[in-house]
Structure 1
Amino acid sequence: MPATKTFEYQTVDRDGKHAKGLLEAPNEAAAIQQLRQQGLVPVSITEGGSLLRREITVPGFGSRTTLKDLAVFARQFATMTASGMTLLRSLSVLEDQAAKPSLKKAISEVRADIEGGMSLSAALGKHPKVFPTLMVAMVRAGETGGFLDGALERIAITMEKDANLRGKIKGAMTYPVIVLIFTGVLVAGVLAFIVPVFEGMFKQFGGELPLPTQILVTGSRNLAWAGPLFVAMVAGLSIAFRRQLRHNPSLRLSFDRLKLRLPVFGKLFAKIAISRFARNFGTLLGVGVPVMQALDVVGATTGNAVITEAMKDLQIAVRDGLPMSAQLGKHPIFPRMVAQMIEVGEESGQISQMLDKVADFYDREVDTAADSLTAAIEPLMVIVMGVVVGGMVLCLYLPMFTIYQNIQG
């Protein structure tokens, strides 16, 4: 007899009543089967009692709907619709399950719109800050083709993989950000507590301070107002620049091209963009979204203006009856392998499957690139930190040579 595991579950019946508890089963599939035999719809089932793998959040923070929230929403929605529950009943259950206030409010308004006769895709499209364009397009295709549960399942898979991709990038950037913050705190601490001690000692011995030391002393004296002002200026410029990127397409295109040319990060950014392009494009085509509409959605969801420009060219090629692979090869961001894979997909009629394979390949490439980036940045950050701290120490000890000469004289 196979060993059993403990699973924690949440279910809903056809009347919308919730239930949760524990059960023993050899695996997750067997646990789901047991629940369905009892006439229950599994909303979530997790081994080891970590239901939905909920994260600890601080009140007031983390209220924005994330990709993980959307993935859970889509997977639960797919399970309930596949079990025969109506849209309104499913949305009512999902509203109760939603932990984020923004998602709960959006689901409530979507349910009200559907009650008023609106389609699900149109209702979701009214909340672009919660439900992305990619999700709305796939739901619309699922409604049209009569396979909404399948489309929702593909949405869940896509959201989960995109969330994993973003997690890898954040993980690669965590170390340098922490080192830079620590270096800034260390510099502020030296200016606030150590430099004044040395300044008092320099005054006792007299003499003129060297220029580097004088700059350090001046920074220490003005730290109380200059420090917050510097932080505020950096934050303000960052916010203003981001707004310009959103509202100035030509600036965004130039900035994204510059990102792709960076010596260390450029290749990583390119692989991320290609992975998202292939995943989103393949998913949209896989659920039956027309090619022209899919290209339009992909251009808006990859997060890179260079890809967006390429999608416009592909739309022109498709409109003129030309193969996408030939036009794709004219854009340097796409390696020859990607164009060849799409060409094979066009000839075999399996372009969606080929795009999924390209996405899987570049997901692995991003993994490798992120690990290599972390390994390359670690010594660089140590050198930067050493130069900053060593430079400050040198500036503090420069006057010692003058003081020593005065004593000898």
Structure 2
Amino acid sequence: MPTFSYTGRLRTGAKKTGTLTAENREGAVRQLAAMGLEADRLIQKRATFGSAARQLNKRVKNADLMIFTRQLATIVSSGLPLTQGLDILAEQTENVNFCAIIDAIAQEVESGETFSDTLRKFPRAFPDLYTHMVRAGEASGDLDGVLIQLADYLEATEELKRRIRSAMTYPTVAFSLILLIAAGLIVFVVPQFEEIFGAFGSALPAPTQLLIYVSNFLRKWYSIAIIIGGIIGLIAALRLYGTTPMGRYNLDAVKLRIPVFGDLFRKVAISRATRTLSTLTRSGVAILQAMEIVERTAGNEVYAKAIRDAAEGVRNGETLAEPLMRSGVFPAMVTRMISVGEKTGALEGMLMKIADFYDSEVKATVDSLTSLIEPLLIAMMGIVVGGIVIALFMPILELPQLINK
């Protein structure tokens, strides 16, 4: 929690100085008011670099970083010194951990460290893309312009994430409801029919026997433990497999083949890769260095490998479009636009146009996702519930035959 030093006046007019701790400046003012003090001077004490470094175990939210970048760009472009701008933002930031980091950065910059070198000391708060762009902005003397590009990039990335979360919410909730309905029928309805079937005195159809077996299993106390344990074990196995290079690649390849969602994941990956590469190269980062960052931030190992292979091709003298075309994961439209951008010297702008196009495609896909998935979910509901009902009524339909016998 930040520490504030204050100088204030009591109601009697006597002056008083001291220190206090509060979550933010407003909290400190409230504490002084409760003490009967009117603050003349209230300054947040600077965090030491070491104390800020201890905050590295906590990530900074993308929304906080986005707001910080946008505000810092405005402050720097207005002509205020960078350290003064950082001091202002540290006072305004509500996130205590991020406030300590900003304060320590201001202290390092004031002591002569470059802004980009200081940011590199906080890798969980400021990713590689951020620090490389800031370094390019410092070298070109256009730090405020680079910060504006960064803010635009972070906003676009956050909007893309929001759309993906929105797309995944409906099918997840609907699928969970289907499972709950099926479980309710099996646990509470099937036992009632089991008592009726017991009076028939004859062998039940195989689907009905299977349904009763599942119902009896789920009603035992250890069944939940087995199911939960199995799910946890499967998730743990997949995560462990995903830590290996081959596992990451194979799992990401499977994601791209999922009906409906695979196409969405593909569009997101292309949008992210092209936007990141455009933002980096536009800010002055060298193409090969930019591609290394794109590879690390691709979010999908299939596309990361394609970028890695493309970087190797560029290093060997090829154009960017050629190895991307060979990869087979970038559509022909994308590689043709990149080729035109390279030939006309407008690669950064062409990459941004590709990213904007695929962003609009993602938005359209998300907007139409409900109409695409709803028939599948209805069909699944019909198969699950209909299968249970048919299995329950099969013995009843065979009852006349048993009576005739």
Q: What TM-score does the superposition give when structure 2 sets the normalisation length?
A: 0.76
Q: Which residue of 1 aligns with 2:231?
A: 234
Work out which of the residue numbers 335, 352, 357 in structure 2 matches 1:356. 352
Write the mapping of 1:4-403 to structure 2, written as runs, cut at 5 A. 65-100=60-95, 103-104=98-99, 106-107=101-102, 110-111=105-106, 114=109, 118-223=113-218, 224-245=221-242, 247-403=243-399
Q: 1:344 to 1:395 in 2, by over 3 A?
A: same
For residues 153-172 of structure 1, the C-alpha deviation after alignment (integer angstroms, 9 at most, x for no partner) is 11111111112222222222
Q: Secondary structure of the equivalent of 1:279?
A: helix
1:205 to 1:326, Cα distance in 2 relative to 1, 3 A:
closer
After TM superposition, give the deviation of residue 100 of structure 1 in Å. Answer: 4.6
CA distance in 2 between counterparts of 1:197 and 1:65 reads 54
Provide the aligned length of Structure 1 versus Structure 2. 349
Which stretch shows the higher mean deviation, 68-77 or 150-159? 68-77
Partner Cα distance (1:140, 1:191) in 2: 62
CA RMSD of aligned residues (A): 2.8
CA gap of 1:94–1:244, structure 2 versus 1, over 3 A, is farther
Conserved? CA contact 1:121–1:139, under 8 Å: yes
Is 2:249–2:302's contact at 8 Å kept on the other side of the alignment?
Answer: yes
**Structure 1 residues 309, 325: CA separation in 2 closer, same or farther (over 3 Å shift)?**
same
* 1:207–1:69 distance in 2 versus 1, CA, 3 Å: farther
Contact 1:273–1:304 (8 Å) recurs in 2: yes
1:330 aligns to what SS in structure 2? helix
Matched residues in 1 for 2:210 and 2:102: separation? 57
What stretches of structure 1 of length at least 5 have no aligned partner?
Answer: 1-16, 20-62
TM-score normalised by L of structure 1: 0.76
Deviations 1:329-361 (A, max 9, x none): 222112222222222222232211111111111
The aligned residue for residue 47 of structure 1 is none
Q: 1:101 to 1:18 in 2, by over 3 A?
A: closer
Structure 1 residue 117, shift from structure 2 partner: 5.3
2:75 is matched by which residue type in structure 1? M
Q: Which runs of 5+ in 2 are unaligned?
A: 1-23, 27-57
